[in-house]
Amino acid sequence: MILKKDEGAVLCDFAEVYHIYNLRDFDAGYISALAAGLDENSRTVRMMSDVSASLDEILTAMIVDRLSYILYALAAKKGTKKPDSMVEALIKKSKQDERKYKIFSSPEEFEKACAAGGK
């Protein structure tokens, strides 16, 4: 289930979009129906599709790439480096993105982690 992959993203999306702050108060079927209705730019949908950039950002990067290649082809001199692809950078970034935060189930668990140096 999506909660196991990144509960924080799901909680943030449900709080922001549906004003639901405790998913366990609702039936699993209801929650999954709401999850299916999340926008393509939501944290949850991006996480499940392993993409960190929105469709608009990727399309814009594709336009910039094509313009860069055209300018490179028109003005390239021997030894000139081909421009780097912004789309490749976005995709590579999304593949390397890992969640850098931890979710705590209680204030005591948070305090214990802080005392242990955040580990």
> For 7-41, how does the pLDDT look when each residue is reduced to its tens digit (9 = 90+)?
888 999 999 999 999 988 998 889 889 988 998 88
- Per-residue pLDDT for 99 more than 60? no
Give the chain's mean pLDDT. 82
**pLDDT at site 66:** 95
**pLDDT digits 0-9 by tens, 46-65:** 888 777 788 888 899 999 99
Q: Helix (H) and strand (E) counts for the chain?
A: 6, 0
**DSSP structure class, residue 25:** G
Report which of residues 116 and 35 the model is more confident about: 35
Q: What DSSP assignment string belongs to the chain?
A: -HHHHHHHHHHHHHHHHH----GGGS-HHHHHHHHHTS-TTSHHHHHHTT--S-HHHHHHHHHHHHHHHHHHHHH--TTPPPPPPHHHHHHHHHHH--------SSHHHHHHHHHTT--
pTM of the model: 0.53
